[in-house]
Chains A and B, each alone.
Chain A
Amino acid sequence: MADASANGAFVEFERVQKSYDGETLVVKDLNLSMPKGEFLTMLGPSGSGKTTCLMMLAGFETATHGDIRLDGTSINNIPPHKRGIGMVFQNYALFPHMTIAENLAFPLEVRKIGKAKREEKVKRALDMVEMGDFGGRRPAQLSGGQQQRVALARALVFEPELVLMDEPLGALDKQLREKMQFEITDLAHRLGITTVYVTHDQTEALTMSDRVAVFDDGRIQQLAPPDQLYEEPENSFVAQFIGENNTLEGTIKEIKGGLALVQLDDGGLIDCKPINVSEIGQRTRVSIRPERVEFNPARLSDDAHTLKAEVLEFIYMGDIFRTRLRVAGNNDFIVKTRNAPGQVRLKPGEQVEIGWLPEDCRALDAA
């Protein structure tokens, strides 16, 4: 599904730049290509330009530079109301003066669809989001989750090929959020809709998407399927932004055989996989996922480098243990271990030796 070939792309951003004020670029050199039916999430901190990208795609903002193509046609040549893009807004934007049914009927009406057909479609769309009984209500009389589902139904009722959603679940509580996440992905896949989904919640991005585009500073930092994003972050921003992550600062001592030897600032030596470092003597930030750290060096190969650590805190969390260590001057080194039979429970003050497989440890840029 994720094999986006340049000519089969449904949505394409090519070298897109955007500036609101003519002084700063909000979007810098955006390149993106989506095949039909893909569920793509734009993930990034606040102000990173996600909404701006969405608005350019929907045609409410024009790109300062570059080209956006929808099914091969440049979007600048199609007025917004002819693009057939369903959109779910950050604040739902349900028309407050219309009932739910009227809201859903609106896109059908402007498309001059007959009354009978219209009613049938509205009913089907409402049933789809399990809101069949609420057609006569006003948006203000619905809960946040219900409004969200109506907004979704309204964006889908006219059967668009592309749906854009801007943080649609931002206002919901955790439980409802998870339920809706599932419902949205389920719907999108069932109807074969191409979806661009914006969020700054990484779990949401990881669980829902076919591919995730991590935004920062107006650029896509990494565009990859969730598992790849988590396990193989391409730079230290992505590594830190996605999931929990331990970092250690150091300098590259040597690179050979696909491995880099890094000397940490306190003198300790570790083996890492070099990702975007190449020169000896370069500063680097080493990233290790908490669940990949090993307490028991016996399980590692004999020549593996290990580090000394002091236990600062042990937190029992039911399914996992969370141990906070001091490692090479870093007091926030977290290790997660499964609550399995025979698993060691460390006590604060204990001295231990830790290690990991070199391929789990990624030497990234020091930024």
Chain B
Amino acid sequence: MSDLKSTGPQTMDAPTPEDALHEAKALNAEDHRDASGRLVTADGRSLKSSLNRALRLQKARAMMLIAPLLIFVLVTFIAPIASMLFRSVENEIVANTLPLTTDRLESWDATQGELPPEAVFQDLFFDLFLAAEAKEHTKLGTRLNYESTGVSSLFRQSGRRLDDIGEAYQDPLEDLNEAWKEGAVWFELMSGQGQTSDGVVTNQIDRFNKLTSSNLRGDIGFAPSEEIAALLPKTTRAYTAWAVFTVFEDEDVVAAEDPWEAVYAALALDLQSPGAADRIAAYDGPQAELLQEAAANLEILPEADFTAAFLDIDEDWGDINRWETFQVYSPKYTDGYFLNSVDLQKTPDGFEARPENERIYITLFQRTIFMSLVITGSCILLGYPVAWILANLPTRTANLLMILVLLPFWTSLLVRTSAWKVMLQQQGVINDVLVWLGLVGDGSRLVMINNQFGTIVAMTHILLPFMILPMYSVMQTIQPSYLRAAKSLGATNWTAFWRVYFPQSVPGIGAGSILVFILSIGYYITPEIVGGTKGVFISNRIAYHISSSLNWGLAAALGTILFVVVLVLYWAYDKIVGIDNVKLG
């Protein structure tokens, strides 16, 4: 290396970190420094950057090796988990389904003890009408039903009868002039003349996309003029919403179709709004006469009272508590699922405990953690001697016995768990034997299944290998000479074990415990089969919410809490035992 240096600049084409380090040493001796006194390589680059470059290359190579797995894990594991966790706070469905209502409800003060104003009911009508047509209102009903039972049926029922509300305005208009039945007439009227207002169309397309969780774009073949949008704002909105729906959902042409009832209701509201008559009289766009005729015959339209109309559909709409729930769950993000997960509920002013009979999650969490600890404990007690024997047998025998330990892995989990059912049930093998031995009477057979005992027994059996394997591999590394040394120093067998062998096997116990505990805290199948009601875990509840009640938000919140609990325990373990004290082999 030294003659290389004297003949010319060092080539650094393919440096390895070792090269760089050697370089550093060699240079120290000769002390190449730049103007600012930093060490430099022979060719004048800063030593630090040379070293970094060399290390970077190595890192890049390492990165390339793990890239396939990394991408796989990211796509199939991390991303779904992240989205699942996101669901635990996500609450956009309310605002997406009832955008106008939630907006207006914000300023309503529930504590006054009064129902929201008429305007809220009007917005609710239009929001719900579109949602019902798109058949999205039941989803929202299901969502809000988690928070306030009965909302689901309220929405379903109301959705069916919204048409009636609209017809109350449609029929008189059509009686007044047959032209109101014509889709083409409506199209001409709403298209108006002059400058078009594209903003309304874009807004409605966005609204439709959010409602149906789709991403449709494009020309709907309709745009209201700015003039008509100013003259009949509600009608424009309702008609555009209908037009978007007609094009995207029904795939029809706007001009050829009659608008739905909500548009007539909107028109009635526009006509009845103060000052409308004058402005309509001054209007001279297409179909102006038709509009002016309707404005002149306002008395044929019923007084707009949506509050009464909704109360007529279901008097539940008059329940302030319902409206409170709607208001509390309007924001796009909510802590409601988390509160629910710890048996709390939201009220307009903070949160409070759920009614006694609805509190289940805290108990479930406590039970899950407690039983996981018991399972971990019994795995340690049963596994330690086995691991010890395995580690102290000649390799051949140990390998043979290891097969017995691993045997459970070769049988389906379901089969093993079901086998426990056969063993433990009241007419099962163990009870039969006990009765046959006369240890228990035939009438007082032990209940060992569908309770916590059954879950603990079956799961201890299933998770035992996860305890034995790390303990075994750690114990294998403890040389027998330590025990011999202890004994030669005067320790009895017990002291030698307890003072010398056991402390060295703790990393194995730690690793096994972490494995078993984390596995059991999230275990599902076994508690489901042998746990009954008293022996199920939080994961069974999560599975229920994912596949039966479809309350994914709550499932996600429960999962997140479980995740955090595990992290906290892991952290505590690190503080108490030290995570570098964990050895898997």
Contact = CB atoms under 8 A, between A and B. Distances in A.
A168 B279 CA distance: 110
A186 to B, nearest CB: 23
A81 B479 contact: no
B490 A93 contact: no
Interface stretch (A24-32, A103-111, A306-314): A103-111
Interface centre among B482, B485, B492, B496, by most chain A C-beta atoms within 10 angstroms, is B485
B262 to A, nearest CB: 77
A230 interface: no
B411 interface: no
Interface string B476-488: 0001011011111
B491 A81 contact: yes
Interface in B44-85: none
B484 A110 contact: no
Interface string B486-512: 111111110110011001100000000
Contacts of B485: 87, 89, 93, 95
B582 to A, nearest CB: 15
B504 A97 contact: yes
A87 B490 contact: no
A83 B496 CA distance: 15
Contacts of B490: 81-82, 84, 107, 110-111, 158
A95 B483 CA distance: 9
Nearest to B489: A107
Contacts of A90: 481
Contact of B489 (A60, A97, A158): A158
Given A97-B503, A97-B504, A80 B482 contact: no
Nearest to A86: B488
Contact of A96 (B486, B493, B499, B504): B504
A270 to B, nearest CB: 50
Nearest to B507: A97
Contacts, number: 62
Interface string A147-175: 00000001100100000000000000000
Nearest to A96: B504
A315 B189 CA distance: 120
B482 A93 contact: yes
Nearest to B482: A93
Contacts of A95: 482, 485-486, 500, 504
Nearest to A91: B481
Contacts of A82: 490
A40 interface: no
Interface string A106-120: 110011000000000
Contacts of B482: 93, 95
A117 B495 CA distance: 21
Interface string A72-88: 00000000111111110
Nearest to A95: B500
Interface string B3-19: 00000000000000000
A106 B491 CA distance: 8
A58 interface: yes
A80 B482 CA distance: 14
A306 B181 CA distance: 142
A91 B486 CA distance: 14
Given A58-B484, A60-B484, A110 B479 contact: no
Main secondary structure of the interface of B (DSSP, over half): helix
Contact of B488 (A80, A91, A97, A111): A80
B149 to A, nearest CB: 59
A110 B488 CA distance: 11
B489 A154 contact: yes
Interface string B78-107: 000000000000000000000000000000
A96 B496 CA distance: 14
Contacts of A85: 488
A331 B495 CA distance: 61
A80 B486 CA distance: 10
Contacts of A111: 490
Interface centre among A82, A86, A97, by most chain B C-beta atoms within 10 angstroms, is A97
Given A58-B488, A85-B488, A91-B481, A110 B495 contact: yes
Contacts of A107: 489-491
Interface string B456-491: 000000000000000000000001011011111111
Interface string B524-559: 000000000000000000000000000000000000
Nearest to B504: A97
B498 to A, nearest CB: 11
Contacts of A97: 503-504
Nearest to B502: A97
A155 B486 CA distance: 10
Given A80-B487, A97-B504, A110 B492 contact: yes
Contacts of A83: 488
B380 to A, nearest CB: 19
Contacts of B484: 58, 60, 80, 87, 89, 93
Nearest to B503: A97
Contacts of B489: 81, 86-87, 106-107, 110, 154-155, 158
Contacts of B479: 91, 93
Contacts of B493: 81
A80 B485 CA distance: 10
A88 to B, nearest CB: 9
A60 B481 CA distance: 10
A83 B488 CA distance: 8
Interface in A292-336: none
A327 to B, nearest CB: 47
A60 B485 CA distance: 10
A89 B487 contact: no
Interface centre among A80, A85, A91, by most chain B C-beta atoms within 10 angstroms, is A80
22 contacts: A58-B484, A58-B488, A60-B484, A60-B487, A81-B491, A81-B493, A81-B496, A82-B490, A83-B488, A86-B489, A93-B481, A93-B485, A95-B485, A95-B504, A96-B504, A97-B504, A106-B486, A106-B491, A110-B489, A110-B490, A110-B491, A158-B490
Given A87-B489, A110-B489, A110-B491, 13 more contacts: A58-B488, A80-B487, A81-B489, A85-B488, A87-B484, A89-B481, A91-B481, A95-B482, A95-B486, A107-B490, A110-B490, A110-B492, A155-B489
Interface of B: 479, 481-482, 484-493, 495-496, 499-500, 503-504
Question: 10 nearest interchain CB pairs?
Answer: A107-B489, A93-B485, A87-B488, A93-B481, A80-B487, A97-B503, A110-B491, A110-B490, A89-B481, A81-B490
